[in-house]
Amino acid sequence: MLVNIHFFKQTTFSIFLLVGILVSQPLKAQVWTLKQCLDTAQQYNKNLLVSRNNVLIGQEKEQESRANLIPKVSINADYKYYADLPYQFMPQAAFGGPEGVFKEIQFGVPHNIAANLQLAIPLYNPQVYGSIQSSKIGSELIALQNQKNEEQLTYEITNLYYNAQILRYQVAFLEDNLTNAKKLLQNTQALKDQLLAKGTDVSKVQLQVEQLTNQREQILSKYGQVLNALKILVGIPLSQNLEVEKSIINTTAPVYEQAATLDMRIIEKQNALLQSELSTFKNSRLPSISLYGSYGVTGFGYDKAPNEFLKFYPVSFAGLQLSYPLFNGTVTRQKISQKKLEIKNKELQAGLTSDQTALYIETAHQQKSIAQRSVETTLAQVQLAQSIYDQTILQQKQGVASLTDVLLADNALRETQQGHVSALIDYLKADLDHKKATGNLFIK
């Protein structure tokens, strides 16, 4: 989330965090634009790379489903040695005996060898076609979820980048205030040396300088934390130097056209997947037909002297196989009923998401409009407070204004600066939320 504006109101001088002018850094950091951060994250963010691998997995699963339509070929071999040959019953009538009387006889040879090449071709299988359709939709759904991950990453990086820019913006205010406070301390010390100011006056200004210095250190620390979080999302090492642009983006409110949000597109695709699964369950009641064939040899061997032999004979056949499910209990019917309820829930979810999106858009638009006017108003207030402060300093030099007047003018200036920073935060957050709600944050 963007920096909470309530943090600024805890104390008169709490200006939040900064970056900006890092004069204490031994190496000059490279300035990265927001676009550079987003482009780099597309290549190196680990969560995004995992998400893209999931897209590839979905595509492979789709190809796996389609492969079930390809003919299957297999080679089989079998060898059997009969220590005891199998028995068969022969009717004695075949040899002139009485009808209805049988005699057990052992047939065959001890060595039996079989080898064949089998081919199976699915001609029609509703389960396979349903699986192909579902896997195709599932692959498209994973691709949309990947885009959703990219959109969320864009939101988080933009959010952190704006935070860093705000901190730099605050530092500019803070550095100016610190410079003014140090000048005031020098002037007050000079007046004290001339017995024109009291020691308490010097202490008041010294306290102000120390407070501003402490605030700057806190801001620099917070800024470093924000940059580290940004580096993690971008996918670069924490040791790499990085700086954000000083200038805040143009606060002129752009107009965003309403586009289909990824949330709605994902729900629509999920509903399509449920419809495909429902159709597959219904079609499972249809018969499946396949063509199959086999070509091979069968070998027979005998190893007792003097009549040893091993002979092979060709064996081949082709046929059609029909499989028709007559009754499987009520399993299919229950699955169909469950899937219909899931579809109904998904339709309700789509309606709820549509209503929520409309609310988010309206709320973000209103907040952005208010924040934009607040940015303009607070900027004018900062300029006015700066003018009053400059005039008060001049009046103090002329002996017209007291140190108390200067400190009051300084406090008023910092309060208006904090108000301006808070307005910038509100605007940037509202604009980011508005862009996301209208489906314009990440367009691919």
Domain assignments of the chain as residue spans, ordered by start:
5-70+125-287+330-437
Nearest to 146 by CA among 237, 59, 274: 59
Q: Is the pLDDT of residue 12 over 60?
A: no
Q: pLDDT over 90 for what percent of the chain?
A: 47
Question: pLDDT value at position 250?
Answer: 62
Whole-number CA gyration radius for the chain: 41
Question: pLDDT value at position 414?
Answer: 84
Residue 310's pLDDT band, with cuts at 50, 70 and 90, is: very high
Least confident of 61-75, 97-111, 238-252: 238-252
Using CA atoms, how far residue 123 sits from 119, 190, 433, in Å, is: 13, 101, 53
Q: Is the pLDDT of residue 25 over 60?
A: no
Token pair 């349903």 is at which residue? 130
Supply the DSSP string of 205-237, one letter for each residue: HHHHHHHHHHHHHHHHHHHHHHHHHHHHHHT--
Question: pLDDT value at position 28?
Answer: 61
- Domain 5-70+125-287+330-437: CATH superfamily is Outer membrane efflux proteins (OEP) (1.20.1600.10)
Nearest to 177 by CA among 425, 416, 395, 398: 416
Q: Is the pLDDT of residue 224 over 70?
A: yes
Question: pLDDT value at position 292?
Answer: 94
Nearest to 122 by CA among 62, 67, 64, 61: 67
Q: Is the pLDDT of residue 8 over 50?
A: no
Q: Is the pLDDT of residue 49 over 90?
A: yes
Helix count (H) and strand count (E) of the chain? Answer: 7, 8
**What is the rounded average pLDDT for all residues in the chain?**
86
What residues have CB less than 8 Å from 238, skipping those under 6 apart? Answer: 228, 231, 232
Question: pLDDT value at position 17?
Answer: 32
Spatial distance between the Cα atoms of 259 and 444, rounded to a whole number of angstroms: 12
| 137, burial (CB in 10 Å: exposed 0-12, middle 13-18, buried 19+) | buried
Q: Is the pLDDT of residue 328 over 50?
A: yes
Mean pLDDT of 63-77: 95
Residue 443's pLDDT band, with cuts at 50, 70 and 90, is: low
Sign of CA pseudo-dihedral 411, 416, 417, 423: positive
Q: Which residues pair with 313 in a beta bridge?
A: 298
What residues have CB less than 8 Å from 384, skipping those under 6 apart? Answer: 416
Token pair belonging to 350 = 């789509």
Supply the DSSP string of 323-392, one letter for each residue: E----BTBHHHHHHHHHHHHHHHHHHHHHHHHHHHHHHHHHHHHHHHHHHHHHHHHHHHHHHHHHHHHHH
Question: pLDDT value at position 66?
Answer: 94
Mean pLDDT of 347-358: 92
Spatial distance between the Cα atoms of 269 and 134, rounded to a whole number of angstroms: 11
Mean pLDDT of 50-61: 95
Mean pLDDT of 202-222: 88
Question: pLDDT value at position 307?
Answer: 85
What residues have CB less than 8 Å from 379, skipping those under 6 apart? Answer: 420
Least confident of 39-53, 178-192, 369-383: 178-192
Residue 67's identity, in one-letter code, is A
Cβ atoms of 261 and 357 within 8 Å: the answer is: yes
Dihedrals φ, ψ of 163, to 5°? Answer: -55, -50
CB atoms within 10 A of CB 234: 24
State pLDDT tens for residues 398-441: 878 888 888 888 888 888 888 888 888 888 888 888 888 888 88
Least confident of 24-28, 97-101, 212-216, 370-374: 24-28
Least confident of 2-11, 98-107, 123-132, 194-203: 2-11
Cβ atoms of 433 and 10 within 8 Å: the answer is: no
Spatial distance between the Cα atoms of 371 and 425, rounded to a whole number of angstroms: 9
Question: pLDDT value at position 89?
Answer: 87
Residue 19's pLDDT band, with cuts at 50, 70 and 90, is: very low
Residue 61's pLDDT band, with cuts at 50, 70 and 90, is: very high
Cβ atoms of 224 and 404 within 8 Å: the answer is: no
Token pair 């040959």 is at which residue? 85
Q: Is the pLDDT of residue 386 over 80?
A: yes
State pLDDT tens for residues 159-184: 999 999 889 888 878 888 888 888 88
408-423 burial code (b ≥16 CB/10 A, e <16): ebbebbbbbbbbbbbb
Nearest to 147 by CA among 40, 264, 243, 292: 264
